[in-house]
A = this chain, B = another copy of it.
Amino acid sequence: MNKVFKALSDPTRRHVLQLLRDKPMSAGALAAHFTVSKPTMSAHFAVLREANLVDASKDGKSVIYRLKLSVLEDALLGFTGAIGLELNATKDTKDIQHD
C-alpha cells in the first residue's frame, strides 16, 4: 500500500492512470500525452508497475499498459477505512461498461 501512495504522489503518474481508465494503451501512446521525454515516462511506468497499479504486456513492438483498478481500489479503501472516512465503494460496476 505504501508503494501505491508513493506512486500516486506524482501528478504525471496520476494522469497516466486516468488515461488508462478507459482503455489499455501503449507506452508510446501514453507518452504522447506528456511533454517529458520517453525515458522519463518509462521510469514512471516502472513505478506504476512496481506498485502493481498497472499490468504490462508486449504486443509486437509495443508494450501495452492496462490499469489494475482493483489494486487502486483496495489501497484507497484500506486507507479511507483506517481513517474512518466513509467513502465506500458502491461496487455497482454493473452500469459502467469496460468492454
Residues of A within 8 A of B (CB): 2, 5-6, 8-9, 11, 14, 17-18, 21-22, 69, 72-73, 76-77, 79-80, 82-93, 96
| New A-B pairs, 14, CB < 8 Å, besides A5-B5, A76-B85 | A2-B11, A5-B11, A5-B14, A6-B9, A8-B9, A14-B79, A14-B82, A18-B82, A21-B82, A86-B90, A86-B92, A87-B88, A87-B89, A88-B88
The residues of B that contact A92 with a CB separation of less than 8 Å are: 86
Complex formed: what's the CA distance from A11 to B84 in Å?
17
CB <8 Å contact, B87 and A76: yes
10 CB < 8 A contacts A-B: A5-B8, A5-B9, A8-B79, A18-B83, A72-B83, A73-B85, A86-B89, A86-B91, A86-B96, A87-B88
